[in-house]
């Protein structure tokens, strides 16, 4: 089987020729990804291209301005990034019909991530101000798809494409500082739920337009973890998050695409919700103590109805020894004997601008061990 055939087989619940192996966000089949241009990652990325099954994270560009809307009368004012020690701080002002909102972000040359120092919304009134932006459906630009498909090889033989889409829970919760968003969801349930519903309507229309332009093999849906334990009671997840997931998964299925729900943390109480959503796959299936359910138990409880992606912790790859990595991979493979629809995968990827040699070595051990066992 090619990597593409292998991944599609497990997503269909069929037995592949060998266990698929993905390195998640570290994907060698996208020349524009920063890690493929970083000298310290070069050797590892060459190994990833040669010996893993590519799930390339890519999505079309869009003209969204804010609040899932392309309304042209709303705009951002952005200051020149100011130096603060080794960090760059950027202040952005969003003009809305009900007045401006401010956001402050911070970046570092050492890490590929963005910190939200000050979120766009501070309370429910700011949320209402943001949603005063009239909804104009978003347009998508697929001009880059030919390039990314070419990098997957003839017939995309080296893997599949996977856009990430945020559900309405994700969009709502990320408007505020996480602690403030939790208080909002728990103490102003009616307002929070109404906001999620409004955002969900916008998001579904946008997704329809995206799928009308081009359909990829797999879509990762992010946001569930914000309403997951230990932060929230599972009842809130079932009441607010699950209906959104059901709609998204059904829409993707109608277009012939697979869906993969992304949810870190303690998911044991949410397994039935994931199955009920109609999704095809789940990641990153974190092992205890980071999660609260082992991969074999999760496979048993889903009765093979979901393809499971996981569950090698990034923490192990960044801090463990090569022997610990080898033993963990061997133990996981042994425990999943007889399970056909799962993909061995780390739970996240490094964000260090310069990859530490110890981390690179542990990735190599994981790949080499899995390759020997799955041959």
Average pLDDT rounded to a whole number, residues 333-350? 94
Whether 277 contacts 202, CB under 8 Å? no
Mean pLDDT score of the chain: 95
Q: What is the pLDDT of residues 37-82, one digit of tens each?
A: 999 999 999 999 999 999 999 999 999 999 999 998 878 887 767 7
pLDDT interval class at 374 (50, 70, 90): low
Q: What is the pLDDT of residues 247-265, one digit of tens each?
A: 999 999 999 999 999 999 9
First to last CA, the chain: 12
Helix, coil or strand: residue 310: strand
pLDDT in the model for residue 79: 76
Higher pLDDT, 77 or 236: 236
Answer whether residue 83 shows pLDDT above 90: no
Answer whether residue 228 shows pLDDT above 80: yes
Enumerate the domain spans of the chain. Answer: 3-63+138-374
Helix/strand/coil (H/E/C) assignment for every residue in 37-87 = CCHHHHHHHHHHHHHCCEEECCCCEECCCECCECCCCCEEEECCCEEECCE
Average pLDDT rounded to a whole number, residues 219-244? 95
Least Cα distance to 329 among 350, 301, 354, 310 occurs for 310
53 contacts: CB under 8 Å, gap ≥ 6: 3, 6, 7, 20, 21, 22, 158, 159, 343
> Does domain 3-63+138-374 sit in CATH 3.40.50.920?
no
153 contacts: CB under 8 Å, gap ≥ 6: none
pLDDT interval class at 162 (50, 70, 90): very high
Higher pLDDT, 83 or 10: 10
Helix, coil or strand: residue 202: helix
Phi then psi dihedrals of residue 213, to 5 deg: -80, -40
The number of CA neighbours under 13 Å toward the Cβ of 2 is 13
Q: What is the pLDDT of residues 209-225, one digit of tens each?
A: 999 999 999 999 999 89
pLDDT interval class at 158 (50, 70, 90): very high
Q: What is the pLDDT of residues 306-325, one digit of tens each?
A: 999 999 999 999 999 999 99
Answer whether residue 375 shows pLDDT above 50: no
Phi then psi dihedrals of residue 115, to 5 deg: -95, 135
d(CA 88, CA 84): 6
């Amino acid at each position: 089987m090619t990597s593409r055939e292998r991944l599609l087989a497990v997503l269909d619940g069929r037995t592949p020729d060998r266990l698929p192996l993905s390195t998640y966000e570290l994907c060698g089949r996208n020349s524009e990804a920063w890690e493929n241009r970083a000298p310290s990652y070069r050797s590892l990325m060459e190994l990833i291209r040669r010996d893993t099954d590519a799930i390339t994270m890519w999505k079309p560009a869009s003209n969204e301005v804010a609040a899932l809307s392309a309304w042209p009368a709303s705009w951002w004012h952005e200051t020149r990034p100011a130096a603060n020690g080794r960090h760059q701080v950027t202040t952005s002002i969003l003009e809305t019909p009900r007045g401006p909102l401010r956001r402050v972000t911070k970046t570092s040359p050492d890490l590929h991530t963005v910190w939200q120092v000050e979120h766009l919304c501070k309370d429910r009134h700011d949320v209402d101000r943001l949603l005063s932006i009239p909804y104009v459906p978003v347009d998508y630009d697929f001009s880059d798809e030919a390039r990314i498909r070419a990098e997957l090889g003839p017939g995309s033989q080296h893997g599949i494409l996977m856009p990430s889409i945020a559900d309405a829970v994700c969009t709502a919760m990320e408007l505020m500082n996480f602690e403030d968003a939790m208080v909002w969801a728990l103490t102003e349930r009616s307002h929070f739920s109404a906001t999620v519903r409004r955002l969900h309507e916008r998001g579904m229309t946008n997704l329809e337009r995206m799928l009308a332009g081009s359909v990829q093999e797999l879509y990762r849906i992010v946001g569930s973890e914000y309403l997951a334990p230990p932060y929230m009671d599972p009842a809130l997840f079932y009441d607010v998050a699950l209906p959104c997931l059901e709609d998204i998964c059904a829409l993707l299925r109608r277009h012939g695409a697979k869906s993969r729900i992304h949810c870190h943390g303690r998911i044991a109480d949410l397994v039935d919700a994931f199955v009920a959503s109609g999704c095809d796959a789940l990641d990153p299936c974190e092992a205890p103590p980071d999660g609260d359910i082992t991969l074999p138990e999760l496979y048993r409880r889903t009765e093979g109805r979901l393809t499971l992606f996981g569950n090698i912790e990034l923490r192990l790859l960044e801090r463990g020894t090569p022997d610990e990595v080898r033993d963990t991979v061997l133990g996981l493979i042994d425990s999943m004997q007889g399970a056909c629809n799962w993909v061995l995968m780390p739970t996240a990827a490094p964000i260090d601008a310069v990859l530490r040699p110890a981390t690179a070595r542990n990735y190599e051990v994981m790949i080499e061990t899995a390759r020997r066992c799955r041959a």
